[in-house]
Structure 1
Amino acid sequence: MSETKDKPFSMAPIAANRNLAAELVERLSGEILSGKLAPGSKLPTEQEMVAATGVSRTVVREAVAALRAEGLVVTRQGVGAFVAADIRRRPFRIDEASLDVLKEVINVLELRAALEAEAAALAAERRSPAQLQAMREALDRMSLAIEEAEDAVAPDLDFHRTIAEATGNPHFTHLFAYLGSLLIPRARVQSFRSITDDKPAYLRRVNQEHEDIYAAIQRQDAGAARTAMRMHLGNSRERLRRAAIDTPGAH
């Protein structure tokens, strides 16, 4: 697996009026799918992407998390991110542009409720000790990110992805990968006031709901896990609706 690049990373700056993370994901995925970034090659570093595009480290991390969720990128602790070896097909897609509309974000949450409530129940019955530990580590990383005022999209994705994996049913994992970062609605609604004005409090509420899901999975209570996940996603939907009401022009 190659870990070096033959020439410096080059990418045009991203305009501030664009969805920064979505734009970066689009550009990087284009380079990956076109073969410009070959399977196994190392992605540019955070510093290189920040310098080239003008976006923040948080945006870069969100974009890499989205690419990883889509199966285009793999990460190696302490080394960096690499183009996945097998990127042959991504058959299920939702148009990200449509997710700028509140109704479509809510539609995705309703899809999640149908998918992930059952996934949580199956995970409670089938999870391994290693998968339970991975969930715990994701929640701990999310708590740390919140306290350090950093974005918590990546550990949030990791928590939900591990639940999908713990079902033991590869179709849950594959569908999760195809949906990618669309599963985390705040990545699409950063302009909503009640989310951005008190983001740490918002994320703490989200993480407490995650803790309730984790506790049910830990004690292998399938019914409680299903209920906790459904409540979490229902609360997310209501938070978005209230945030839209508080944000002029959101519709």
Structure 2
Amino acid sequence: MSSIGKRETLTGQLVRAIADRISSGQYARGERLPTEQEMIGEFNVSRTVVREAVANLKAKGLVHTQQGIGAFVLKDVSAEPFRIEEDNLELLEEIVSVMELRISIELEAAALAAIRRDGDDLTRIKNALDMMNEAIERGESSVLADLEFHRAIASTTKNRHFLSMFNYLGEVLIPRTRLQTHKLNDLPQRQYLERVNREHDQIYQAIKAQDVEGARAAMRLHLGSSRDRLRTNALRVEKAS
């Protein structure tokens, strides 16, 4: 089993690995799972870990067991709803993965916002920009204003699914709620936040001008830069470990 992270137990790693195989169809519905001995050999874990993992999968409604025969994928197992495992967000590589998801969603949100915005939408986006600037001036956290800025853009798409996805992800979308990203950028916090809000202003100006490609490009620059800096740091940490 590849290393997932020190904070995740072996049982948790094994549960996730098997659940992923069930979700992808590698373990088909109704199919028997590998035997305990086979899982011990493949994943390099103890019999206790295998049994705990199977019990966990059973509790999740993914498998059932038959005494003396083994564990089977449920025939009517339903697809798990989309969710991000909060515990994994202690890991830098997982934050990078969430950033990649965020980029794919928010580039299109910015483009739709540029097409569909009205006066009220622009006022809400601009108010969030002003809130962030005021928080920076006071030396306070601007996370809530940052969230409101991106939420306002999601709302401006006039597509409830963009807003629902944003509200589900919530603070997961803002990496600095989980680690001090200004330190990854070798910048004082205020200087880092001012740069972030300049990027926000570029997005706002493109949406205001109904510049669809400009809105995409500004959002790509904003989120892509954050992702690249996080990825560089993740590689640095990996080489040091």
TM-score by length of 2: 0.62
SS state of the match for residue 212, structure 1? helix
- Partner residue of 1:93 out of 77, 80, 83: 83
Distance 1:249 1:92 in 2: 32
Pair 250,127 (structure 1): closer, same or farther in 2 beyond 3 Å: farther
> Deviation of residue 246 (structure 1)?
7.2
Match of 2:208 in 1: 218
- Partner residue of 1:144 out of 134, 159, 162: 134
Match of 2:148 in 1: 158
- Partner residue of 1:188 out of 178, 190, 214: 178
> Deviation of residue 247 (structure 1)?
7.0
Distance 2:238 2:121 in 1: 42
Distance 1:250 1:143 in 2: 36
C-alpha contact 1:124 1:217 (8 A) present in aligned 2: yes
Match of 2:159 in 1: 169
> Deviation of residue 238 (structure 1)?
2.0
Counterpart AA for 1:166: T
Distance 2:86 2:172 in 1: 8
Counterpart AA for 1:118: E
C-alpha contact 1:92 1:179 (8 A) present in aligned 2: no
RMSD over aligned Cα atoms: 2.3
Counterpart AA for 2:94: E
Greater than 6 Å deviation, 4+ residue runs:
245-251
Distance 2:88 2:132 in 1: 28
The count of aligned residue pairs is 161
1:208 aligned onto 2:207: no
Distance 1:236 1:191 in 2: 9
Question: What aligned pairs does 1:92-131 form with structure 2 within 5 A after superposition?
Answer: 92-131=82-121
Distance 2:147 2:181 in 1: 20
Pair 187,128 (structure 1): closer, same or farther in 2 beyond 3 Å: same
Match of 1:227 in 2: 217
TM-score by length of 1: 0.59
- Identify unmatched segments of 5+ residues in structure 2: 1-80
Counterpart AA for 1:115: I
Relative contact order higher in (CA < 8 Å, ≥ 6 apart):
1
> Deviation of residue 148 (structure 1)?
1.1
Pair 192,201 (structure 1): closer, same or farther in 2 beyond 3 Å: closer
Query: Percentage identity across aligned positions?
Result: 50
- Identify unmatched segments of 5+ residues in structure 1: 1-90
